[in-house]
Amino acid sequence: QKEVEQNSGPLSVPEGAIASLNCTYSDRGSQSFFWYRQYSGKSPELIMFIYSNGDKEDGRFTAQLNKASQYVSLLIRDSQPSDSATYLCAVSPNSGYSTLTFGKGTMLLVSP
């Protein structure tokens, strides 16, 4: 059973702080890793993807991947109240298709 694990939260951070979201996965052959942001009642929005070990930065977001330890993380710098949402970690297994296994999501609350 391929699994993706996330803390459900909520993770509460003050405005301006760094929010750190973590995700572990069980399929060692996984090739691609995604972070989606989902506001209540809305659809998931792709915010970051990473394929190689190391860090990938895009604006206030940094994705970190460590395949040896089978974890991927998302850092959000200078957190804003508008970042308050559920963050879904998704992993694509080594299946030949871009199918996604999602974690259950971490709710982030950024207080003003």
Partner 1 sequence: DTEVTQTPKHLVMGMTNKKSLKCEQHMGHRAMYWYKQKAKKPPELMFVYSYEKLSINESVPSRFSPECPNSSLLNLHLHALQPEDSALYLCASSQAGQLAEQYFGPGTRLTVT
Contact 56, 43 (CB under 8 A): no
**For partner 1, the closer CB: 11 or 100:** 100
Q: Is 69 left (phi over 0), alpha (psi -120 to 50) or beta?
A: alpha
State the DSSP H helix or E strand holding residue 4, giving kind and residue range, or none if neither: strand 4-5
The answer to whether residue 92 forms part of the interface with partner 1 (CB under 8 A) is yes
**Tokens 């207080």 sit at which residue?**
111
The answer to whether residue 77 forms part of the interface with partner 1 (CB under 8 A) is no
The answer to whether residue 51 forms part of the interface with partner 1 (CB under 8 A) is yes
The answer to whether residue 44 forms part of the interface with partner 1 (CB under 8 A) is yes
Shortest distance in whole angstroms from residue 95 CB to partner 1? 7
Give the interface segment with partner 1, choosing from 18-26, 61-69, 74-82, 103-111 (CB under 8 A): 103-111
Amino acid letter, 7 = N
Contact 90, 103 (CB under 8 A): yes
Interface with partner 1 by CB under 8 A: which residues? 31-32, 34, 36, 42-46, 49, 51, 88, 92, 94-100, 102-105
